[in-house]
A and B are shown apart, each in its own frame.
Chain A
Amino acid sequence: MKRRDFLGRVGAAGTMGLTGALSVPALLSGSRHAYAAGDDIPIGVLFSLTGAVAVVEHTLHDAALMAIAEINADGGVHGKQLRPIVEDPASDPATYADRARRLMIRDKCVSVFGSYTSSSRQAVLPIAEQRNNLYWYPTLYEGRECSRNIMYGGALANQQQDILIPWLIENFGKKFYMIGNNYVYPKEENNYCRILLNELGGEVVHEEYVPMGHSDFSSVINRIRAEQPDVIFSTLVGDSDVAFSRQYHAAELNPDKMPIVSLTRSEVEVKAIGGEAAAGHFSSAPYFMGHESPENERFVENYRSRYGGDQVTHFVSEAAYFQIYQFKAALEKLDPDNITPIGIRDAAMGMTMKAPQGEILIDDNLHTHLWPKVAQWQADGQAKVILQSEERVTPKPYAAYPGQECTGEGLVKA
């Protein structure tokens, strides 16, 4: 131990004692290790490269590594290079927790970037909180979470639905048919959608959930045919979404009268569905590959030249990309000799940044202010943005739960 470090720690402990904040865990975590003490800044990259969710997560992995490479080529941060430490959690939540722990303890990462599914995020959450580290999560998710150790980059229910639902009622009608996979995200989204529909006088003609990976939708399509809803409100994910859309198209149901409106369908799914079958249906998200902005042009161009001209960017890979830049911007605000995950978090709060989707802001509740968009899929597999929020939308993780609010101090119950 260097003499200066020693003095610094004694001083820190002394200050804590004076303010009365001294507690055993604080003392232990305070003296455990110094972050980013070497010539570079270690950061964890925790996206599955194998297993069920690898399909999506490898694109997040690619986008994050591209951002890191761009920053390093640009001279790094404070003259230090970012050193990505890649782990493959193999789509298994327990492995996420294990690898996250390894990255945070052994590799002394100042932040870990990872996860697509909520289950894997929830597996890492206790680790991040226990180690007082920072986990950057790029995916849209169902809300109802308010950790001080997770940076949420994706859209919440209110950011996906507030502009979407009134627009759908106005343009298509009030009868909604809800179909989703059977897990927490679709249920929470539908729950929020019902609240909006109640306010706007809409109705839910049927709500159903199919098992993950379900691939035969003939019964669902028959029921849709019988019910004749105005909107198919879909929270199907991955293969189920692909199978459903192809069968919906094969059944010749008309997207002009009964469009599938998805909260989860991105360019990745559409590539598998085929442009012809996806054409005419809608998605709601803060980012689409076809969005026109100089930042996005650069993002798409770099991504394609790096990973191949047939690759697509989508609303989660965009967030995986901009979160690295948010991290960098936060680092720049810190004293290079005193980088800690919590320092990064505090520096990031309130920070704005030009992302491919528009200028975004990190809220004190660690969620992100985003630019909701509604887009219609075209036969070429791209989305055409037809409705864009006029203002940046505040993230409300507890929008469906009155009396609870996620703030800079954590969850507040009224």
Chain B
Amino acid sequence: MDVVFNQVFAGLSFASILLIIALGLAIIYGTMGVINLAHGEFVMLGAYATWALQTYAGLGVVTALPLVFLAVAAAGWIIEKVIVQRLYARPLDTILATWGIGIIIQQAVRLGIGPDSRFVQGPQWLTGNLQIGNLVMSNYRLFVIAFAIFILGATWLLMTRTEFGMKLRAVIQNRNISECYGIKAEKVYSVTFAYGAGLAGIAGALITPLFSTIPTMGTGLVVDAFLVVIVGGLGSLMGTAAAAMLIGEVTALFSIVMNDTLGRIAVLAGIILLIRFRPRGLFPSDTRR
């Protein structure tokens, strides 16, 4: 029984990381219909930004978070302005363009910083475990879960309680009519893209103490994040959250019942079945495209 509880926590921990990555992806796709294949590289940039801030400025992972968010958001903003914005009318080309951007960023980091794995020290005040009976929870992972919930809440507030959020939702529902009402869709797009990138950056910063910081680190994660977005239903915030939980827990469960390799196969098979019967995901949003 202990194993089950511990495994539920492991699933939750994995889900929280997935959620932060997938949120950015879901917002960018939901708003602009852009499938951002460079998203994994934003995660990687976030991790490297954390490494740079720690190595050269002596900042801890948690202190660095706002700066990492701003830095990666700025990178996302520039990429949106320079490349993605010119391709809104050609959604298929954005896939190719973002894929290319991803490769460029990855290789630039490899050439500029080097291909070997970088070390980032985790926060000292979050070492150790919280132990309840036989349930052992790493403090750092608890922090990541709390932070993911915070980000989900903040994003929800941003979307529903601010003027920007209203404009954003208007643009999602109908870009042309929104523009007639004086909303600058291009500006909304730029900010959204930057926000999504920033979230990816935060995810990258948060995983550095647990994972290995290398130029290719984002590639594997972004595949999982795409799965979350597909299962959750495109453009739905709550759907994304629910799907992240579901995939995290199911992965954890399968990996303890079978093993990580078979668990992964089972999860992918499950997702194929799911989209066969619910092609628009668990919680499709009712927007007109």
Q: Which residues of A contact B (CB under 8 A)?
A: 50, 52, 54-55, 58, 182, 208-211, 213-216, 218-223, 225-226, 238-239, 242-243, 246-247, 250-252, 268-269, 271-274
Q: Which residue in B13, B121, B260 is a CB contact (below 8 Å) of A274?
A: B121
Which residues of B from 248 to 285 have beta carbons under 8 Å from A? 252, 255-256, 259-261, 263-264
Q: Given known contacts A223-B3, A250-B138, A250-B140, is B210 in contact with A272 (CB within 8 Å)?
A: no
B100 at interface by CB-CB < 8 Å: no
B119 touches A210 (CB 8 A): no
Would you list 8 pairs from A and B whose C-beta atoms are within 8 A, ordered by A residue?
A214-B260, A215-B211, A218-B10, A239-B214, A246-B210, A271-B116, A272-B116, A272-B117
Q: What separation, in Å, do the CA atoms of A55 and B117 have in the docked complex?
A: 8
- For A218, the chain B residues whose CB sits under 8 A away are 7, 9-11, 13-14, 141, 252
Q: Which residues of B contact A (CB under 8 A)?
A: 2-3, 6-7, 9-11, 13-14, 17, 107, 110, 115-119, 121-122, 127-129, 136, 138, 140-141, 209-214, 216-217, 220, 252, 255-256, 259-261, 263-264
A219 touches B116 (CB 8 A): no
- For A50, the chain B residues whose CB sits under 8 A away are 107, 110, 115
Q: What separation, in Å, do the CA atoms of A219 and B263 have in the docked complex?
A: 11
- For B141, the chain A residues whose CB sits under 8 A away are 218, 250
A208 touches B119 (CB 8 A): no
Q: Given known contacts A213-B220, A250-B138, A252-B129, is B209 in contact with A222 (CB within 8 Å)?
A: no
Closest 8 CB pairs of A and B: A218-B10, A272-B117, A242-B212, A239-B212, A219-B255, A222-B6, A210-B260, A54-B115
Q: What separation, in Å, do the CA atoms of A3 and B129 have in the docked complex?
A: 81
- For A225, the chain B residues whose CB sits under 8 A away are 6, 136
- For B122, the chain A residues whose CB sits under 8 A away are 246, 250
B3 touches A226 (CB 8 A): yes
A222 touches B210 (CB 8 A): no
Q: Which residue in B6, B115, B210 is a CB contact (below 8 Å) of A243?
A: B210
A55 touches B116 (CB 8 A): yes
Q: What separation, in Å, do the CA atoms of A26 and B235 have in the docked complex?
A: 67
- For B121, the chain A residues whose CB sits under 8 A away are 274
Q: Given known contacts A219-B260, A220-B260, is B252 in contact with A272 (CB within 8 Å)?
A: no
Shortest C-beta distance, A400 to chain B (Å), equals 23
Q: Which residue in B128, B217, B256 is a CB contact (below 8 Å) of A223?
A: B256
- For B217, the chain A residues whose CB sits under 8 A away are 215, 239
A226 touches B2 (CB 8 A): yes
A215 touches B261 (CB 8 A): no
A250 touches B209 (CB 8 A): yes
Q: What separation, in Å, do the CA atoms of A92 and B214 have in the docked complex?
A: 18
A219 touches B10 (CB 8 A): yes
B119 touches A251 (CB 8 A): no
Q: Name the residue on B nearest A246 (C-beta).
A: B210
Q: Which residue in A208, A210, A219, A247 is a CB contact (below 8 Å) of B210?
A: A247
A219 touches B7 (CB 8 A): yes
Q: Which residue in A182, A210, A216, A222 is a CB contact (below 8 Å) of B3?
A: A222
Shortest C-beta distance, B113 to chain A (Å), equals 12
- For A219, the chain B residues whose CB sits under 8 A away are 7, 10, 252, 255-256, 260, 263
A216 touches B14 (CB 8 A): yes
Q: What separation, in Å, do the CA atoms of A55 and B213 have in the docked complex?
A: 12
A250 touches B3 (CB 8 A): no
Q: Name the residue on B nearest A54 (C-beta).
A: B115
B259 touches A208 (CB 8 A): yes
Interface centre among A55, A221, A238, A271 (most CB of B within 10 A): A55
A246 touches B211 (CB 8 A): yes
Q: What separation, in Å, do the CA atoms of A215 and B263 have in the docked complex?
A: 14
- For B3, the chain A residues whose CB sits under 8 A away are 222-223, 226
Interface centre among B2, B6, B128, B141 (most CB of A within 10 A): B6
